[in-house]
A = this chain, B = another copy of it.
């Protein structure tokens, strides 16, 4: 599994907020209902993103969560880094400490290039662009 469930849910929630960019706050309940995700679980995931300053939150009636930055300034990599950390892109696939170009493990050569490309693409893909594609029905956000 490339990404944890928390991370996948986080990405999909930020996508939802990006598509609903004009609303300052969206209740988490609305997101969890629409996406079929556990409300309390999603709440905890979004708290991480709130603490990271990526989204903002407001308690009480008319409260909810909303983007704290422009959607176009948040990359897929930003969300992945907050929720899954950077081990996928930093650590040796075979778990050997000190794995490096001058001291490679058996999978080093293969994964070194692939992970660099993947990281670059994830850094370049932003939620503004993704939201636009969702709105224009080119890609989908739900399980439909």
Contacts of A130 in B (CB 8 A): 106
A137 to chain B, nearest CB (A): 11
A140 at the interface (CB under 8 A from B): yes
Number of copies of chain A assembled together: 2
Residues of A within 8 A of B (CB-CB), count: 40
A117 at the interface (CB under 8 A from B): yes
Q: Which of B95, B96, B118, B143 contacts A114 (CB 8 A)?
A: B118
Contacts of A139 in B (CB 8 A): 104-106, 108-109
Chain A interface residues toward B at CB < 8 A: 1-3, 5, 8, 11-12, 15, 76, 87-88, 93-97, 103-111, 114, 117-118, 121-122, 125, 130, 133-134, 138-143
